[in-house]
Chains A and B, each alone.
Chain A
Amino acid sequence: MLAHIIRRILLLFPTLLGISIIIFLMMHITPGDPAELLLGERATEPALEALREHLGLNEPLYVQYGMFLKRLMKGDLGETIWTRQKVWIEVKQRFPATIELSIAAMLISSVLGVILGIISATKQYSLFDYLSMLGALVGVSMPIFWLGLVLMLIFSLNLGWFPMSGRLSVGIDLDPITNFYILDALLTKNWPAFKDALWHLTLPAFTLSTIPMAIVARMTRSSMLEVLRQDYIKTARAKGLSPGIVVMKHALRNALIPVITVIGLMFGILMAGAILTETIFAWPGVGKWLYDAVLQRDYMVIQGGTLFVAAIFVIINLVVDILYAVINPKISVH
């Protein structure tokens, strides 16, 4: 087991190297020039040339990549082209916002998804089953952009239950420590800020959770149905155990294995959804930041930012694999 974990961690490095090469090549194959975009209509040839020279864009590609790697070895992700700031600092400022949003969305989608899935499976072909699976279908196909706006219209503008956008209301002060606002509010025992941050989080997190929630619900349902047909479940029932214990203790543990894989991979879906959610809800996270960087051809942000996000993704998958073994000792790791 330990050997497996170490092997997986060592595999991280070639994986990330591969990712960085692919990102680097993709970026430079795509047409566009950050110098041109920075200067816009007023660009003159001397100004462009000076800027390109300054940014090192005139160097051959392998030299540019080499410089990136060299910096990376020293733990430096480089400096952004547009904002002239260390990429690492820019990531640090925004990543907590995205993680806060993703964790909240993940919590909502896994808890609600699993509950919906269990009920649907145990009450197969009931009205609840039909309704929740229809809901899941709608959830999976709903455009996040549209859903976010509609939720905002109903719950913020008309009902006034939730704030519309941003992470904190104007007038609420919070000393950032970790930049996870909810955590920071807890640490500083700032209850108004805690409540406010939590309330700002609700709508975007729910919006972001719909697609994964639908996937989790459907996965739980089908995997549960399969498990419920197994002989050992019949045995358990024949023993006279209550249906609740059979479902929660005997069936669920086995049924959850594929669901956990999906939840682990969900981070990718969440990151993709975060771009739209962050845009609509003015949530200052990495999703929108990376998207803008692609439009602005900020190579340094794209290189550094995506590499960072990819690393997190790979690590989460590793953690999921380990959880796998913990949840079901039958699965031995080779």
Chain B
Amino acid sequence: MIRKVGLILCGLILMFAVTACEKKEPEKKTEEPAPTATKEGGTLVFGRGGDSVGLDPAYETDGNSFMICDNIYEALIFYQDESTALEPGLAESWDISPDGKTYTFYLRKGVKFHDGTPFNADAVVFSIGRMMKERKLKFFSMEWDVPPQERPPEYWVSMEMDDTVDSIEAVDDYTVVFKLKRVDAPFLANMGMDFADIISPTAFMNNPKEFLRNPVGTGPFKFVEWVKDDKIVLEKNENYWDTSGGPYLDKLIFRTIPENSVRFLELKAGNIHICQFPNPADIPLAKEDPNLKLVSQPGMNIGYLSFNYTKSLWQNIHMRRAIAFAINRQAIVDNIYQGMGQVAKNPIPPTMWGYNDKIEDFPYDPEKAKLELAEGGYPGGADLPEITLWSMPVPRPYNPEGLKVGVAMISDLAKVGIRAKIVSYDWGTYLKRQREQPKDMDLFQLGWTGDNGDPDNFLAVLFDGLASPAIRTQWKNEEYHKLMLEGKQTIDQAKRAEIYMRALQVFHDEVAAICVAHSTVIWPMRNNVMNFKLHPTASVRMKNVRLE
């Protein structure tokens, strides 16, 4: 009997092995759609780390949701392929009144939503108007009763759009007028952001509660299917209005593969075409692989270290300077960012207009740090109590490993005589407690990814502590604050660039915060993926992508 069991076991193993070998074919089959695809058409599989949360652009906050929206919807204004320079989108052109408070958009004609609804001024009033708290809206031919908000439209609220937009009016079928409450120079750039995408009003009114799972826009791809935590399938919009270029792909599949290394292995095996956020350690492997290529883009972001300005210790500029000289940021970029980044000397990235290249960065100089420390009243750091350095517990786009960066920083600080310890909380608590500027926080790491390519979106939002108690750094400087207001209220971009350069000088002189690094995004992909470009805003646009 025992022998029989043994035989059965052997039989089972043999069967397993035989059937396993048989399987080789279907596995190959799955690889085929990629390489055999011709110049036009084909299915592109995009591998990403997480699923989308929802697909209603007004309510989403995460990159994985926006990346799908980027291909389904369009806004009045487009960002250029590789920069945030503005170009006409669903609006062919626009006028700005001399007082800067009235924007008139002239819309593109002959555009249709995926469900056949014509795109017109009413659709714009509907899409943007539904985010307003007090809806001063005027439709031209339709009278939609815009349903109440399911929840606060996060971007609209956090960009303070209710304080900017007063009313939206459809003057005729293809003209929309936005009246503003205040002059707001970044307004136009904001209209290119995802939250300002135009949706099909009929599709939304059909079932407002389910719209985020049944998105309908005017974009180059149409929504087909969503299998939660598995994949989202889009297909080519055959009736796309812009016939000068793409879409070329027949089908677009966004697969969720949470584990970075597995996602990379899937790319190597040819089962996906593009691999989002690989492990830095896999980049050299991708370089060696003849079937893969890399695409990179300096991210529109900043990782910074700032001070708790409610404590007198950090109101002392010598102490701030001491920290700036003491930290070896180049070593952090080389070892922790693993080269996927560059040392920052301004809080805005070098690709952004308004960047002040004349600023002389703080060199890594422990001796100077010691001098500053002595001038600050703590020679040798002797009487200085142990300080805390808050570090993020999670990887962020601007900082791959906050805790490691923190450890590197405290060892640098120790070299000049400043004793420091790392403090970290779970991410939600970290964000919440940081805002409260508690006494047990001295230095904190944080960062930002830009939304619209406007310097205001970095400089005012992050550092103008006089503007609002909600600003995370709470650095309060009259001159800087005035410059920020001036920047917001000046429409001419060249003049604004000058204003921001001046503000950056003040920022640097006062050591408002220490700019650590701008991270670079590097994604590997199969050689046959053509024309895929990474965008500074991290949006993923597949319109012009083809497979060869």
Contacts and interface: CB of A to CB of B under 8 A. Distances in A.
Contacts of B256: 282, 284
B426 interface: yes
B360 to A, nearest CB: 28
Interface string A226-255: 000000000000000011110110000000
Given A43-B158, A297-B428, A167 B230 contact: yes
Contacts of A45: 435, 469-470
20 contacts: A31-B428, A33-B429, A36-B429, A40-B431, A41-B449, A44-B158, A50-B152, A51-B151, A85-B213, A94-B228, A115-B5, A119-B5, A157-B265, A160-B28, A164-B269, A164-B271, A165-B262, A279-B259, A282-B262, A285-B229
Contact of A84 (B9, B28, B212): B212
A156 interface: yes
Interface string A44-59: 1111001100110000
Given A160-B27, A199-B23, A244 B261 contact: no
A91 B262 CA distance: 25
Nearest to A52: B152
Contacts of B449: 41
B26 A47 contact: no
Interface residues of A, number: 71
Nearest to B8: A115
Given A45-B470, A47-B158, A156 B24 contact: no
Contact of B1 (A90, A123, A170, A244): A244
Given A43-B158, A94-B229, A244-B2, A157 B269 contact: yes
A7 interface: no
B157 interface: yes
B429 A31 contact: yes
Contacts of B29: 169, 171
B271 A247 contact: no
A42 B255 CA distance: 27
A153 B27 CA distance: 15
Given A94-B229, A167-B230, A161 B152 contact: no
B9 A115 contact: yes
A280 B428 contact: no
Contacts of A54: 151-152
Contacts of B157: 44, 46-47, 50
A189 to B, nearest CB: 17
Contacts of A221: none
Contact of A32 (B59, B429, B435): B429
B33 interface: yes
B269 A161 contact: no
A218 interface: no
B127 to A, nearest CB: 18
B54 interface: yes
B258 interface: yes
A155 B21 CA distance: 10
What class of interface size applies to chain B in its complex with A? Answer: 35 or more
A307 interface: no
B283 to A, nearest CB: 18
Contacts of A332: none
A164 B270 CA distance: 11
B20 A161 contact: yes
B53 A169 contact: no
Contacts of B213: 85
Given A54-B151, A164-B271, A170 B2 contact: no
A192 interface: yes
A160 B24 contact: yes
Nearest to B451: A42
B26 A195 contact: yes
B281 interface: no
A36 B428 contact: yes
A85 B95 CA distance: 41
A282 B257 contact: yes
Interface in A152-181: 152-153, 155-157, 160-167, 169-172
Contacts of A155: 20
B255 A244 contact: no
A242 B1 contact: yes
A36 B229 contact: no
A161 B16 CA distance: 11
A34 interface: yes
B1 A247 contact: yes
Contact of A196 (B5, B26, B429): B26
Given A38-B154, A40-B61, A160-B27, A247 B2 contact: yes
Contact of A122 (B2, B33, B229, B461): B2
B144 interface: no
A149 interface: yes
A161 B230 contact: no
Given A33-B432, A46-B157, A280 B259 contact: yes
B230 A119 contact: no
A156 B228 contact: no
B446 A165 contact: no
A118 interface: yes
A43 B431 contact: yes
A267 interface: no
Contact of B261 (A31, A41, A149): A149
Given A171-B30, A284-B227, 20 more contacts: A31-B429, A32-B429, A39-B154, A40-B61, A42-B61, A44-B158, A45-B435, A47-B158, A160-B28, A162-B23, A166-B255, A169-B26, A170-B253, A171-B33, A172-B30, A244-B1, A282-B256, A282-B262, A284-B230, A289-B229
A44 B470 contact: yes
B212 A36 contact: no
B268 A171 contact: no
B417 to A, nearest CB: 32
Nearest to A123: B2
